[in-house]
Amino acid sequence: MVSSHEVKVTESRQTEDQLTRDMLAATAGFVNCTAGTNGDTPTNIALADVNTVVRGLLTNNAYTIMDNIEGEDKFGTAPVRDAYVALCSSDLVGDLEAINGFVQKNQYPSPMNAHRSEWGAVGNLRFFTSSIGSKVETSSVKGATVYNIFCTGMEAYACIEQDGYSANFIYRPPIYDGPLALNCSVGYKFAEVPRILNDLWVINLRTTLNT
């Protein structure tokens, strides 16, 4: 059984992710996917769009975050390049798999080097998905949901702790509530600010679904 306290702890870390996500959505420069075939703006994601982002990050001297995974003599696997990290919504998994050259994480020579939220890699981008990935409803030219894919190099952004901590999880037992000690309280508060450190090292690749 999961206690309400455990739920709150998960919620606090998820809130931290959401705050960082919203900062990136508001602040980072963006590139629209234009190489897809769905006729919208932005289009669905295609290999040329991935190449545009990778070229941009390389040109801006962004360091890759993920190490390469060396090829091994195993059937159905392929080496994985050192890579920038791409953070996106789990709604995009189908479109990611349709990109020319997409490598599923189970095709990595050593899948244990993949993270649980990782979906796969294309070129020098490794994609991580989340149910709380960034998206803006009714935002494409055709009125479809636009998905933000934050493609980031090393130290492109940070969460700055302003008072010596990122978040405080606070539990007060009922004795602090009143003379009858009827109610306990649990909650969290943040003292951190997400901030882009170098705008050249993070690019928001905007896309729509290919449906």
Least distance to another protein, CB of residue 71, Å: 35
Question: Binding another protein by CB under 8 A: which of 10, 106, 142, 173?
Answer: 142
82 is a site residue for another protein (CB under 8 A): no
Residues 2-21 that bind another protein (CB under 8 A): 19
Question: Binding another protein by CB under 8 A: which of 32, 134, 148, 152?
Answer: 32
Q: Whose Cβ is closer to another protein: residue 164's or residue 178's?
A: 178
- Report the alpha-carbon distance of residue 47 to residue 138 in Å, rounded: 25
Question: Binding another protein by CB under 8 A: which of 12, 139, 166, 210?
Answer: 139
Contact range with another protein by CB under 8 A, out of 39-47, 80-88, 113-121, 123-131: 39-47
Question: Binding another protein by CB under 8 A: which of 64, 89, 140, 152?
Answer: 140
How many other β-carbons are positioned within 10 Å of the β-carbon of residue 158? Answer: 13
- Return the DSSP state at 145: P
Residue 115 structure tokens: 């993270």
CB 153 within 8 A of CB 62: yes
Sign of the Cα torsion 87, 93, 95, 99 reads positive
**3-state SS record for 59-124:** HCCCCCCECCECCCCCCCCCCECCEEEEEEEHHHHHHHHCCCCCEEHHHCCCHHHCCCCEEEEECC
Question: Binding another protein by CB under 8 A: which of 40, 108, 125, 129?
Answer: 40
Residues 157-196 that bind another protein (CB under 8 A): 172, 176-178, 183, 185, 193-196
- Report the alpha-carbon distance of residue 184 to residue 123 in Å, rounded: 52
- Return the DSSP state at 177: T
23 is a site residue for another protein (CB under 8 A): yes
Residue 57: which of 81, 22, 23 has the closest Cα? 81
Residue 207 structure tokens: 């896309």
Contact range with another protein by CB under 8 A, out of 63-71, 126-134, 138-146, 148-156: 138-146
Question: Binding another protein by CB under 8 A: which of 3, 131, 138, 211?
Answer: 138
48 is a site residue for another protein (CB under 8 A): no
Question: Binding another protein by CB under 8 A: which of 6, 22, 82, 163?
Answer: 22
Q: Give the interface with another protein as residue ranges (CB under 8 A).
A: 19, 22-23, 25-34, 40-43, 137-143, 146, 172, 176-178, 183, 185, 193-196, 199-200
